[in-house]
Structure 1
Amino acid sequence: MTHADLPQFDPIKAAWNTVATYSNYDEAQDAVNRLNAEGFPIEHLDIIGSDLRLVERVTGPANKLRAAANGAFSGAGMGAVLGLVMGLFSPGFTWLAMTVVGAVIGTIWGAGFGFAAHAFGGGRKTFTSTRGLVATHYDLVARGGRTEQARILLAGTNP
């Protein structure tokens, strides 16, 4: 399937095909689930988030110990995967030993790099956080002339 084969979003058509508007994604997802339970062909639906906002949730202070711990965790995972891949080409249960050794080496290197990055990075950010995009509202849009059918089915089901 090429890009030309994919259905393209047209905001003008979507304005006329909006089945319902929801304040959060879970409500829009529940509406799709209800329509699916009613036998509606849900492959003709889109959930469109509008008015996006970047939300950064502060998870705590950043310090050298936390940076080293995060680096150790990441390094352990990377080392275990690399050890496993290399161990797959070894006879017997050597793969297990290589996975463990890779995780240990990755933990040590990851902790060192995490500590050094925080200690010598010179950044101004003194906290840790996670980022995500959040829409202020979500429109449930039906394609292919199925808007009214979807509205009727949603009106007849309990939320």
Structure 2
Amino acid sequence: MVSSTLITTNKEPIATYRSYQEAQKTVDFLSDHGFPVKGTLIVGVGLRSIEQVVARMTYLRAAGWGALSGAWFGLLIGLFFAIFTATAMPQIAVVLYGLLWGAVAGAIFGLIAHSVHGGRRDFVSESGLVADKYEVLVDSDHAAKAHELLGKTPH
């Protein structure tokens, strides 16, 4: 594992932004104007973990998610077994059979998994990391050129 102090030792911050997209635009701008962007860093400062609840987990939703994931697995198994069938019609039947039974098994598993939790996590959420600000860091040797180029950035 590389230490962050080793990565940032010869780096200098040239700009700070509230969003990642703004920092990304700056690096893109520098690249478009011939700046050597290799080794440039976009560093998120003040990281926070955010979990946004998007829905309530119900038995129906648990069965649905289980059926979807089971269908994918069943499709994969059906395609694998279809390799060993001789003609096209049985191949399609094997794939569809795998898809169907995968969905059924997945739905059953989803229901069982949801009921085992006993109401302890009855919601669906999305997790992510968010930073308070984003710094663009460049090699110290090239910081003056970056500042010069960013002076031309339209605001």
Structure 2: runs of 5+ lacking an equivalent: none
SS of the residue corresponding to residue 130 of structure 1 reads strand
Equivalent residues of 1:32, 1:42 under 8 A apart: yes
Q: Percent identity?
A: 35
Which residue of structure 1 aligns with residue 66 of structure 2? 71
Tell me the alpha carbon deviations over residues 107-129 of structure 1, each in whole angstroms, 9 at most, x when there is no partner.
11111111111123224122111
Further displaced range: 81-90 or 36-45: 81-90
Structure 2 residue 15 is matched with structure 1 residue 32:
no
Further displaced range: 92-101 or 134-143: 92-101
Distance in 2 separating the partners of 1:73 and 1:27: 37
Distance in 1 separating the partners of 2:53 and 2:36: 41
1:8 positional shift: 5.5
Tell me the alpha carbon deviations over residues 27-70 of structure 1, each in whole angstroms, 9 at most, x when there is no partner.
11111111111111221311111211111011111110001111
Structure 2 residue 125 is matched with structure 1 residue 120:
no
Further displaced range: 139-148 or 19-28: 139-148
Root mean square deviation, CA, Å: 2.4
Distance in 2 separating the partners of 1:44 and 1:58: 37
Distance in 2 separating the partners of 1:79 and 1:43: 44
Give me the TM-score of the superposition, normalised by structure 1: 0.82
Give me the TM-score of the superposition, normalised by structure 2: 0.84
Aligned residues: 153
Distance in 1 separating the partners of 2:43 and 2:134: 5
Q: 1:23 aligns with which of 18, 23, 35?
A: 18
SS of the residue corresponding to residue 137 of structure 2 reads strand
Distance in 1 separating the partners of 2:44 and 2:92: 45
SS of the residue corresponding to residue 130 of structure 2 reads strand
1:88 positional shift: 4.1
Structure 2: which amino acid aligns with 1:128?
A: V
Structure 2 residue 43 is matched with structure 1 residue 55:
no
